[in-house]
Structure 1
Amino acid sequence: MTASRVTVTSNPARRNTTELAYRELRRRIIESELTPGSYLLEQELGLMLGFSRTPIREAALRLQGEGLVQIVPRHGIRIVPTSISDIQHIYQVLMSLESTAAGLIAASKDADLAPLVQACETMTAAFERGDMLAWAEADEVFHETLVASCGNARLHAIVMNCRDQVHRVRRFTQMVKPHPQPLKSIQEHYAIIDAMRCGDAAKASGLYRAHRERGWRDQTSVLQQYGIQQA
């Protein structure tokens, strides 16, 4: 009787396949490789990702719990778009918390700024060879490293919880139109680092907030230019 209760999901290989399907489907959603608002059948996703329908279904259930997909009976799996108003609210949270993180680092006596400088150097090298995808990845490394270095684990956790939605919208806008001021972003990063190095918490925080506000305005401009209300 006990044996009859053992489900297929207890199989380690099955769990591993479901995890792989979940990670790949999630990655494609976050990277905006799957069009926001589109509907895809389990079989269609299975062929696309190289998995059978069962792990795709289980991965979709997990992603539905995260708000990234919606399972619609007889229609398939809908890739849930992010509304512009929602992402604006997320940016408001990020601008507040990340600027606080910049101030905390500036006030620290032993902050290691080398990883931030390295991220800027990587951005510059990527820009010079025309690799804007690598530029964007290094840009995100800069912001994530800064928050991770502030010494406030709760602040870091909250910011990282918002990261995927911001990353998703950035990828979407980058596919529509290249970043308008990549060199200016690098210059602003260096200015923030200089303020931290000087121990000027107020300046570091203010520069960081202004940097994020400009980034949001640039993205909003792209979305408005193309009449996009959801991404």
Structure 2
Amino acid sequence: MAEPAVAEARRSLTGDAYAQLKAQILSNALAAGASYTEPEIAERLQMSRTPVREALIRLQSEGLLDLIPRRGARIAPLKVQDMREIYEILTALEPHAVAEIAARRPEAEDLAPLKAATEAMEAALTARDLDAWAAADDVFHRALLRLHGNARLCAITSTLFDRSHRARMMTLRLRDLPHKSTAEHRDILGALRRGEAERARQLFRAHRERSAKELLTLLDQLGLPQF
């Protein structure tokens, strides 16, 4: 009976290491392009090297870092072209998904997570809490894809959301308060509620195109590498 308990404890430690490291990468606490040895990371997390190593392997598979043999890990750098390609994919996928959801004429219960996320964005703006706003924005987009119901689409976009999140957090305080973005989410929610498939598609595409242009302009101003 001891061996299953040991295996479960190991999985728990690995999951904890993964969650902590991923959060630090997405928040830029672990800087894009920086390299860290396994002992440095283990000390940072106050954990042994085995669960840290397993967590690093998982994060590499998600494109958030590169493992360097006998040296540790290099956090994936932020590049303008990467963000351009990610937003091109999201601009193609998400408007199609939102139109299909609207065509099903979802019930109020189905839209409740999106409504709650929109209200959280509005409350965060009132409080001028940009971190809370970004978290609510992320919840909206992920909840939308879950509502669509295509598991593979959710998996693909979740990885893209993670990879773009660092850039969004880096530029969050370099732009005006996101009143326009918040209003766009409210408009998209309204189109979903009314079952207006083509309207929802158009609103979402315009939202993604505008936000992509804004992000890429700021990344250029920061002097991030293009490729």
| Range into which the TM-score falls when normalised by the shorter chain | 0.7 to 0.9
**Aligned pairs for 1:175-190 within 5 A:** 177-190=173-186
Structure 1 residues 54 and 92: CA distance shift in structure 2, 3 A: same
> Where does residue 129 of structure 2 map in the other structure?
131
Q: Residue 223 of structure 1: CA displacement?
A: 0.7
| CA-atom RMSD in angstroms | 2.3
In structure 2, what residue type is equivalent to 1:103?
A
Amino acid at match of 1:115: P
Q: 1:180-201 CA distances to partner (integer Å, 9 max, x unpaired)?
A: 2411111111222222233221
The TM-score normalised by the length of structure 1 is 0.85
Partner of 2:148: helix, strand, or coil? coil
Map of 2:40 onto structure 1: 44
Shift of 1:220: 0.8
Write the letter of the residue equivalent to 1:139: D
Distance change >3 Å, CA 79–CA 158, structure 1 → 2: closer
Tell me the CA shift for residue 206 of structure 1.
Answer: 0.6
The answer for unaligned runs of 5 or more in structure 2 is none
The structure with more radius of gyration? 1
Tell me if 1:94 matches 2:116: no
Provide the C-alpha distance between the structure 2 equivalents of 1:111 and 1:157, rounded to a whole number of angstroms: 24
The 8 Å contact of residues 173 and 219 in structure 1, kept in 2 or not, is answered as: yes
The residue that corresponds to 2:15 in the other structure is: 19
Q: Alignment length, in residue pairs?
A: 221
SS of residue in 2 equivalent to 1:206:
helix
* 8 A Cα contact 2:18 2:59, kept in partner: yes
Stretches of structure 1 that go unaligned for 5 or more consecutive residues are 1-6
* Aligned mates of 1:53, 1:151 — CA distance in 2: 38
Specify the SS of the correspondent of 2:73: strand
Aligned to 1:106: 102
**Does 1:147 pair with 2:129?**
no
Cα deviation code 1:197-227 (max 9, x no counterpart): 3322111101100001111111111111111
Indicate the larger mover: 104-113 or 45-54: 104-113
**Alpha-carbon distance change, 123 to 41 in structure 1, aligned in 2, over 3 angstroms:** same
Name whichever of 113-122 and 210-219 sits farther off. 113-122
Q: 1:13 to 1:194 in 2, by over 3 A?
A: closer
| Farther off after superposition, 207-216 or 184-193 | 184-193
> 2:52 is matched with which residue?
56
Distance of aligned partners of 1:100 and 1:178 in 2 relative to their CA distance in 1, 3 Å threshold = same
* Distance change (3 Å), C-alpha of 1:39 and 1:152: closer
1:226 to 212, 218, 222: 222
Residues 36, 117 of structure 1: alpha-carbon distance in 2 compared, 3 angstrom cutoff: same
Structure 1 partner of 2:168: 170
1:81 Cα shift? 1.5
Question: Taking structure 2 as the reference length, what is the TM-score of the superposition?
Answer: 0.86
Q: How does 1:47-86 map to 2 (within 5 A)?
A: 47-73=43-69, 75-86=71-82
> Percent of aligned pairs with the same residue?
43
Which residue identity does 2:10 align to in structure 1?
Answer: R
Cα contact 1:81–1:230 (8 A) shared by 2: no
